[in-house]
Amino acid sequence: MNILKNVLLFVFIFFMNTCAYSEPVFTWKENSDKIYSIANIAEPSGYKRVITDKNSFQEWLRYLPVKKNDSEPIRIHNGSKYGEYGYTQDAHYRIVDIDVMPVQQCADVAIRLWAEYLWSTNQADKIKFKFTSGHSCSWTDWKNGKQLDVEKNKVVFKSKTADASRKNFLKYLTRVMYYAGTSSLKRDLKKIDSLNELRIGDILIRDGHACMVADMTVNDNEEKKIVIIQGWMPNERSAEDVHILKEPESNSPWHYIGETIKTRRWKDFTKSDIRRFE
């Protein structure tokens, strides 16, 4: 009888865990089934992907959709190729398959992805960011009609009709992107003091630029390599595709974590540059 009870208990726990888990959802994609994702990128030789919790931000980022064609060029939000503005196409490994909002700068990519994760996992009421001024702007207030704006360099509150639609959510993100950025994220997010503690979803912020860790592998010696994604706005009219960076010495997307993290397009990131959403 005890054996039967234990078997039934195991089946019950397995069933509950299965029911509680859901495949990552990417709301901007009409069909999230059978997409090519960061998880499809081969691990570096001798390394295995770190384990992520089900339904976590880390897992969600790992399954972020990317364009399968490795020759896909970076484009800016109006569809023009990045190189038409005098910039090269040699630093990216793949394009992340997400639309580009016109005001979407480097820090805004992190803001967008964190907000999209919470939205897609029915945690939208947790979405909240601070402007560089320090004023808090939450999705809950915004959808209920209490909206922040800036007039004559002063933050003001405006009353609007309540609206919880996806369209209004994107308006909310646009407002946040205008008035939050690398300085506010570096000020407001949790500081991580060691590169050994780096994990998927962490943001690397240095001297006005931000990147995000989108995947991680580890070898038997506990050495780690990471996938880094970023956006860019070379000038005020050219917000570009979110993309996976190539590491500096090869065409691989896997960046080694040493005493610093070296990237092709920016300065070396150090232990003092890590921030984390909570």
pLDDT the model gives residue 76: 78
- In this structure, are residues 107 and 182 in contact, taking their beta carbons and an 8 Å threshold? yes
Nearest to 87 by CA among 269, 232, 256, 230: 232
CA separation, residue 158 to residues 150, 151, 162, 169, 188 (Å): 10, 11, 12, 16, 24
- Res. 106: pLDDT tops 90: yes
Dihedrals phi, psi of 146, to nearest 5 degrees = -100, 100
Mean pLDDT across the stretch 89-111?
Answer: 91
pLDDT tens string 121-149: 999 999 999 999 999 999 999 999 999 88
Angle at CA 187, nearest 5°, toward 77 and 206?
60
pLDDT tens string 31-40: 656 689 999 9
Residue 170 in tokens: 């994107």
- Res. 53: pLDDT tops 90: yes
Angle at CA 135, nearest 5°, toward 237 and 77?
20
| Range of weakest confidence among 46-50, 57-61, 71-75, 93-97 | 71-75
Beta strands (DSSP E) in the chain are 48-49, 92-95, 128-130, 136-138, 146-151, 154-159, 190-192, 203-206, 209-218, 224-230, 243-245, 254-256, 274-276
Residue 208 in tokens: 């006005």
Indicate whether this model's pTM tops 0.75.
Answer: yes
Q: How confident is the model at residue 78 (pLDDT cuts 50, 70, 90)?
A: confident
Three-state secondary-structure class, residue 214: strand
| Range of weakest confidence among 121-125, 151-155, 230-234 | 230-234
